[in-house]
Each structure stands twice: as C-alpha cells, then as structure tokens.
Structure 1
Amino acid sequence: MIKRNKKVLEPLPAAGPGGPRHVAIIMDGNGRWATQRGRPRLFGHHAGAKRVREVVEACPDVGVEYLTIFAFSTENWKRTQVEVAGLMSLFRRYITKETRALHERGVRVRFIGDRVRLDAKLIKLMNDLEEYTAANTSVHLTIAINYGGRDEVARATKRLAQDVSQGRLDPEAIDEETLPRYLDTYVLPDPDLVIRTSGEARISNFLLWQSAYAEYEFIDTLWPDFTREEFARLCGSYGGRDRRFGGVKP
C-alpha cells in the first residue's frame, strides 16, 4: 500500500505582541460556494467544515489563544428541513471525526448556545468532547450551535432575575460587570477581532454583548476559500489599529 505524504505547510508569520488574543469568525458563504459549482448547499457546508481544522491549527502560529466560530444560529432553523438535518448530521460527524486530532493538538473545545432544541445524540457528543478536552490549553475553541446573541442575553437575564427573586443577588449591586457572569461565554475573554467572510457586512446576532469593542473585518472571501494565510494577514493587520476604547491618547 502506498502512503501519501502529508502536505507540509509553510510557517505563518506571527501577528506580533499587538495581535488579537481572541478571534471570532462568522463563517459565511458555504451555500453560495457550492451553488457556484453546481452542487447542493450541503456540499459547501462539508467543504467549510474542513476549513475549520486549518484555521484552528494556524492559531498557535499567529498567537491566537481563543477562537470562536459561528456554526449554527437560532435563525438557521428557518432553512429547509433537508439542510438543517444535513447540518446536524455534519456536526455529529465532525465531532466524532475530529475529537482525537483536537485533543492531540491541545485544543480545548467548548460549545455555546441553547442545547434544548438539539438532538440527544449531538448533545452527548458535545458534552463528551468538552469533558475529554477540558485540560487542554493550546487553543480554546468555542463552537456556537443554536446560538443567537439576543437569545443568549434573554437567557442570561432570566437566570439573573431568578437569582434576584431567590435572594442570591442584590438588585442594587447589578452593574455592567454582572450580566457577563450569566452569559454562555462567562469563562472567555471578549473577542478582539471579529471576521465575517462572504462579503456581507452585518454581525447577524453574533456575540452582541461581548463584541462591544471588537474590531471587525468584513471580507469578500467565501468561507470554503478562506486560507490560513488570509487568517494570518488579518491577525497581523489588527496590531496596527488604533484602539482607544472611547478615550483619547495623550
């Protein structure tokens, strides 16, 4: 049997000391990518899933510690039953196939979003992957499934209100530091850079609270064509931005 040589990737330039620590990506354009090739939309989603691995593997090279990807939104249930079922199958297959590789590369995986509507098998795979990679520290990969920023804030507010009603939280003590402790992302730093592929210039209900001071990059590249080199370039350009957080430099 002839073994194929594994492709040797060129080293990527580091983003530098001013590079982003946490990058969030709205992975858009899978369907259009497939349509352009005369293939069904699910073909594009499978191609996009392969791209995720390449970007995750590039993170340590460019100094990114946290990567959050938008896999399925609360609004995506409006798509056809065939596409939704195909995506859920893809998520189960991705987790099953990638678990070992993610662990070997020291990737810690977390999932955010409301799991109630997901099927039991997928939920178990998600829980098992989180537990299996819990001690890893190389890259913190967060996958948003059945996630919406408004839904997240509503769920967080409900939990906060329950704590107030049960006497565990003083309403007079609530400030802008309180709500984040109830969000899905409470253990994560806020994203420094948010990238959206496919030429669309909107945030689509993604990390609304957390991205208050994030830098944004809206690029024309469709997600299945997004390369590790483009990822490195965007992370590198982030370091040159003047970030004042509402203040003025002396």
Structure 2
Amino acid sequence: MRTTTMSVAAAAVVLALTLAGCSGGDDSVSDAGTRTSAPVTSAPAASATPTASAPSGTSAAAAHTDAELTSVFQRIQFKPAEFSSTDAMLDSVYPGLTVSDARCLAPFGVGWEKSDDAGTVVFGTSNDRSMTAVVASTGDTAAATDLVGDARDALSRCADGAALFSMQGTPVETTVETTKPTLTGTDDALGWRVRGTVGGNVFTLVGLTARVGGDVVALVGWDPASNTTNVPLATQMFVDAL
C-alpha cells in the first residue's frame, strides 16, 4: 500500500457531510438535502468466473449493448441515463468541483463517454446517491486495459500538488492510499482510498476500478458510513453481471 498527499475535490464531499450534519445526521444527502439511508441490495453468493482470454493475436472481446448495460444498472439499483455526461453526474455529487487536469478524474470514469475507444458507456448514481458508477463496454481487451491504466496512472501522477483540485476555489490537502481489491472474476483491478478533513469534518472517498475482458467499471463512494462496505459489494455485483 502506498500513501501520498494530494489535493482533491473531495471537499465537495465534506460540503455534503456538512449539510447532513446541519440536518442532524451523517447519512448521504439527496439534491434537496433530504437524508437517505437505502443500502445497496445484497448480492447473491458470488459465482463469477474469470472471462476467457481472447484468442491469440487478437484483443477482440464480446461487447454489451446500451440496453444490456442499462438493465445491469437498474438491477443493481443505480440510475442510468440521469445525466447527459459524466462531468454533470460528478458535479451533481461534488458541486463546485474544479480540476487543473481532467485526466486526474480517470479513477471516477469521467470522460469515458467521450473516448472513441470506450465503446458503449453507461453511468449513474446509486439510488441513495452515495456512489457513482461508470461502465464502458469496449469490445476490445486492449482498449479496456488502457482505461484501467489511465486510472492507475492518475492515482500516481495526480497524488501531489495543492493546485490540482479545488472546491469553490479552496484547495484541500488529503491523504491517498492505493489498495488491493478482493474482487473475484476480474482480469485487472485497482483500489484507492482518500481521507481528509475540511472545516472540522472528516471525509473518506473509496474507489474501485475493475476490468472483465473488454468491460471496465469505475465505482466511487463518498459516504463514510457505507463506502468501505458498499463500494466493494456494488463493484462485485457489476463484475458478476458483466
């Protein structure tokens, strides 16, 4: 596990936590500030097996349609097609976020829908708005591997510098840890955790990026009451469905 210091827009998470605190709780908050606590539905016992490798000499992989990915989101209690872009989705959860280098948001899956190599991309928040998920079905294992590589590179390259991220113009110093996921049925996976304090409020972000053949899911949770448990659980559910 590697620990470094970075400035991240997770201050927006603290804004949400502050609003929750003002209303008398620390559960996730909706757009109107209403407390919610709907947990992710428990998944059946995992039975996923690793996706078979593509034939030698080719990186082609089976691709999912938009309708198939949308169905996966709905079964796992995520809301697809709610936002026009991943940027808009992120701003709805972390309002006022600015970043000096958009590539630093690769672990969130931001911008995947704009990539020519990402194939079919579906994204949305969990029903309780404590998590965001972006899934790309590239139809190509090499392209999917590149998406995971971009996320891994961002965690390393964007781990330093107080000017990288800001919330309403204020940089926030935080601590980033890379973690080893315990997911099953993946071809590649990486995890990370961000901890910090803003205005006396402690916050935590937990993220996982996982590849299954030509499919990649990036999932991030901000609610410290649930993200350590729900982010791995929800990611495993996506992996099993892919």
Q: Say yes or no: TM over 0.5.
A: no
More strand by percentage: 2
TM-score scaled by length of structure 2: 0.29
Give the greater-gyration-radius structure (CA). 1
